[in-house]
Amino acid sequence: MVKKRKITLSTTQIILLSFLATILLGSGLLALPISSADGKAVPYLDALFTATTSTCVTGLVTVPTVSTWSVFGQIVILLLIQIGGLGVITVMSGLMIMLNRKMGINDRLLIQDAFNLNTMSGLAKFVKNAVLGTLVVEGCGAALYMLVFVPQFGAKGIWISVFNSVSAFCNAGIDIIAENSLCDYATNPLINIVTSVLIILGGLGYIVWWDVLRVLKSRTRKNRKIFRHLTLHSKIVITVTAGLILVGAILIFIFEYANPLTIGDMSLVDKIQVSFFQSVTTRTAGFASVPQENLTNASAAVSVILMMIGGSPVGTAGGIKTVTVAVLICSAIATIRNKNSAALFGRRLSETALKKAVAVTMTFFVLCATSSVLLMATGNASAIDAVYEAVSATATVGLTRNVTATLNTLGKLIIIVTMYFGRVGPISFAIALGSKNESQNVISEPTEDISVG
């Protein structure tokens, strides 16, 4: 009698499959006539695209969200955004905690891998705080949005506010206000500030949240220096995030200052406001307050760089991540200065962190390059538009230079695959399909010097 071989999946493979299952379930629901505003079933490819962009919290859409989907369809999209932002494993674990079910070792391993954490201690509390923190922040955002949307849309403004708050915090960039995103509110201070704060909080990551709260609770009258007592991770995230937003806003302000198609005809205050929002939204959020196709090439290039970097680890944002970029830059500087190791804020960076940063960056660039070339080969997009679209999809941003709506069947499939790989993480996908760790081998290969650079 032949014994059946038991199929075992790694935690990474389970995460990949859970996202895929969510996308397929969502696409099936969106393909139903009840999900369509006109009662006619939306073509399955568009339903699949919408389910993917929602679950992967990207924001690229082939059909207008506000006019294509019914209230039922919008609810499905919102649930997919929330699940995708928190992560399927996190949502499932949160439900287990609510039902008072004890988490086993496999459940803890899944959560650890889903959030890329270095320890399994306190995972149940971490998940609970992440879910509650998310709901509190999204609730506050929705309440502030209502100050604008309820007077304008009436009772419907409540639903719009909730949808927009969840989408902004999860860095999804999908809205049900208008077909031109937030362009009609480009100079509205409240909408700009609330959206920017939600985007930034979602992009900072939960680890930074708890670290800042820890320091605030433990500070005394004699010691009020919060930044000094933060962990190295939090210091890097906050510093790089603030620097990127500020530099990005300044460059966009300069490059768009005289552009009549964007901010050229606005007042100085509005120019600053729009430039700041553009810098923030490129951090994988996807909301647009100016048409992206009207940006100058210089601003488009800046936006591509900001999209590539994205947000921070253990948050709702995508991209290479701020910490990864900081590690690479510090390592490069250390090499140029002929130092043995890289350091930040008085702490030496580990070799493991550097190796992972290199792997993540290279995988990201390969995915972007492949997607860009395929888009140019299968469609009529120019080089800058194709790169913009590919980076936006890989980094799960959602900004487009009016390319997504014009994609043919092959183009849609390319972006669907790119968004999926970009959300689950190129390096995670490689690990999931890879073989056993070769470090277990006792004998290693001989070393030989090569010329680099």
Q: Where are the domains of the chain?
A: 205-339, 350-429
Separation between Cα atoms, residue 348 and residue 232, nearest integer Å: 10
Output the DSSP codes for 47-111: HHHHHHHHHTT----SS-HHHHB-HHHHHHHHHHHHHHHH-HHHHHHHHHHHTTPPP-HHHHHHH
Of 260, 252, 367, nearest in space to 303 by CA: 252
Separation between Cα atoms, residue 360 and residue 426, nearest integer Å: 7
Residue 346 DSSP label: T
Indicate the burial class of 178 (C-beta count within 10 angstroms; 0-12, 13-18, 19 or more).
middle
The C-alpha angle 219, 223, 228, rounded to 5 degrees, equals 85
What integer pLDDT is reported at residue 435 of this predicted model?
Answer: 46
Separation between Cα atoms, residue 37 and residue 70, nearest integer Å: 4
For every one of its 453 residues, what pLDDT tens digit does the chain have, with 9 covering 90 and above?
Answer: 455 565 676 667 777 888 899 999 999 999 999 999 999 999 999 999 999 999 998 999 999 999 999 999 999 999 999 988 887 656 666 655 665 666 665 656 556 555 556 555 666 777 788 888 899 999 999 999 999 999 999 999 999 999 999 999 998 989 999 888 999 999 999 999 999 999 999 888 888 888 888 888 887 666 667 788 888 889 999 999 999 999 999 999 999 999 999 999 999 999 999 999 999 999 888 899 999 999 999 999 999 999 999 988 877 788 899 999 999 999 999 988 888 888 888 888 888 888 888 888 998 999 999 999 999 998 888 899 999 999 999 999 999 999 998 999 999 999 999 999 988 876 565 555 554 454 445 555 676 666 666
